[in-house]
A and B are shown apart, each in its own frame.
Chain A
Amino acid sequence: MLKINNLIVSYGNIKALQGVSLEVKEGEIVTLIGANGAGKTTLLKTISGLIAPVSGTIYYSKNEKNSSLNHMAPHEIVRLGVSQVPEGRMVFANLSVAENLDLGAFLRRDAREVRESLDKAFQLFPRLKERVTQNAGTLSGGEQQMLAIARALMAKPKLLLMDEPSLGLAPILVKEIFETIRKINQEGLSILLVEQNAHLALQLAHRAYVLETGKIVLEGPARELAMNEEVKKAYLGA
Chain B
Amino acid sequence: MKSIRQVLFCVAILCFFFFLNHFLTLYLNPYYLQILIYAGINVILAISLNLVNAQTGQFSMGHAGFMAVGAYASAFFTDRVGPLLHSFFTHVLAFPDFFSSFFIFGFALVIAGCLSAGAGFIVGLPVLRLRGDYLAIATLGFGEIIRVMILNMDVVGGARGFTDIPIYTNVFWLGLCVYGTWMVIGNLIHSTKGRAFLAIREDEVAAECMGIHTTKYKVGAFVIGAFFAGVGGALLAHEVGYLHTNSFTFLRSIEIVVMVVLGGTSLVGSALAAIVLTLLPEVLRFFSEYRMVVYSLVLIFLMLARAKKWKST
Q: Is the CB of A106 within 8 A of B209?
A: no
Stretch at the interface among B20-28, B210-218, B303-311: B210-218
A73→B209 CA distance, assembly (Å): 10
Given contacts A102-B195, A103-B195, A106-B196, contact A95 B202 (CB under 8 A): yes
Q: Is the CB of A75 within 8 A of B202?
A: no
Residue-wise, chain B 211-251 has the 8 Å CB interface mask toward A (1 for contact) of 11100000000000000000000000000000000000000
Q: Is the CB of A103 within 8 A of B208?
A: no
A155→B205 CA distance, assembly (Å): 16
Residues of B within 8 A of A151 (CB): 210
A86→B206 CA distance, assembly (Å): 7
Stretch at the interface among A5-13, A63-71, A76-84, A202-210: A76-84
Residue of A nearest to B216 (CB): A75
* Residues A49-92 near B (CB distance < 8 A): 49-50, 73-75, 78-79, 83-84, 86, 90-92
* Residues B258-310 near A (CB distance < 8 A): none
Residues of B within 8 A of A50 (CB): 205, 208-209
Residues of A within 8 A of B210 (CB): 78, 103-104, 106-107, 151, 155
With most chain A CB atoms within 10 A of its CB, the pick from B203, B205, B206, B209 is: B209
B residues contacting the other copy or chain, number (CB 8 A): 16
Q: Is B135 an interface residue (CB 8 A)?
A: no
Q: Specify which of B198, B209, B213 is in contact with A84 (CB 8 Å cutoff).
A: B209
Q: Is the CB of A93 within 8 A of B202?
A: yes
A75→B204 CA distance, assembly (Å): 12
A203→B65 CA distance, assembly (Å): 60
Q: Is the CB of B205 within 8 A of A86?
A: yes
A78→B207 CA distance, assembly (Å): 11
Residues of B within 8 A of A23 (CB): none
Residue-wise, chain B 142-174 has the 8 Å CB interface mask toward A (1 for contact) of 000000000000000000000000000000000
Q: Is A190 an interface residue (CB 8 A)?
A: no
Q: Is the CB of A91 within 8 A of B206?
A: yes
How distant is B196 from chain A, measured CB to nearest CB, in Å? 7
Q: Is B68 an interface residue (CB 8 A)?
A: no
Q: Is B3 an interface residue (CB 8 A)?
A: no
Q: Is B199 an interface residue (CB 8 A)?
A: yes
Q: Is the CB of B213 within 8 A of A75?
A: yes
How distant is B74 from chain A, measured CB to nearest CB, in Å? 36
Residue of A nearest to B202 (CB): A92
Residues of A within 8 A of B211 (CB): 74-75, 78-79, 106-107, 155
How distant is A80 from chain B, measured CB to nearest CB, in Å? 10
Residues of B within 8 A of A104 (CB): 210
Q: Is the CB of B209 within 8 A of A95?
A: no
How distant is B220 from chain A, measured CB to nearest CB, in Å? 14
Q: Is the CB of B192 within 8 A of A86?
A: no
Given contacts A102-B192, A106-B210, A151-B210, contact A95 B205 (CB under 8 A): no
A78→B213 CA distance, assembly (Å): 10
How distant is A150 from chain B, measured CB to nearest CB, in Å? 12
Q: Is A138 an interface residue (CB 8 A)?
A: no
Q: Specify which of B195, B203, B205, B208 is in contact with A75 (CB 8 Å cutoff).
A: B208
Residues of B within 8 A of A133 (CB): none
How distant is B90 from chain A, measured CB to nearest CB, in Å? 50
- Which residues does B use to contact A, with CB under 8 Å? 192, 195-196, 198-199, 202-203, 205-213
Given contacts A74-B209, A103-B207, 10 further A-B contacts (CB under 8 A): A75-B212, A79-B211, A92-B199, A92-B203, A92-B207, A102-B192, A106-B196, A107-B210, A151-B210, A155-B211
26 A-B pairs whose Cβ atoms sit less than 8 Å apart in the complex: A50-B205, A50-B209, A74-B209, A75-B212, A75-B213, A83-B209, A86-B209, A90-B206, A92-B202, A92-B203, A92-B206, A94-B202, A95-B195, A95-B199, A99-B195, A102-B192, A102-B195, A103-B195, A103-B212, A104-B210, A106-B192, A106-B195, A107-B210, A107-B211, A151-B210, A152-B209
Across the A-B interface, give the 5 residue pairs with the lowest CB-CB distance, nearest first: A78-B211, A92-B202, A90-B206, A107-B211, A74-B208
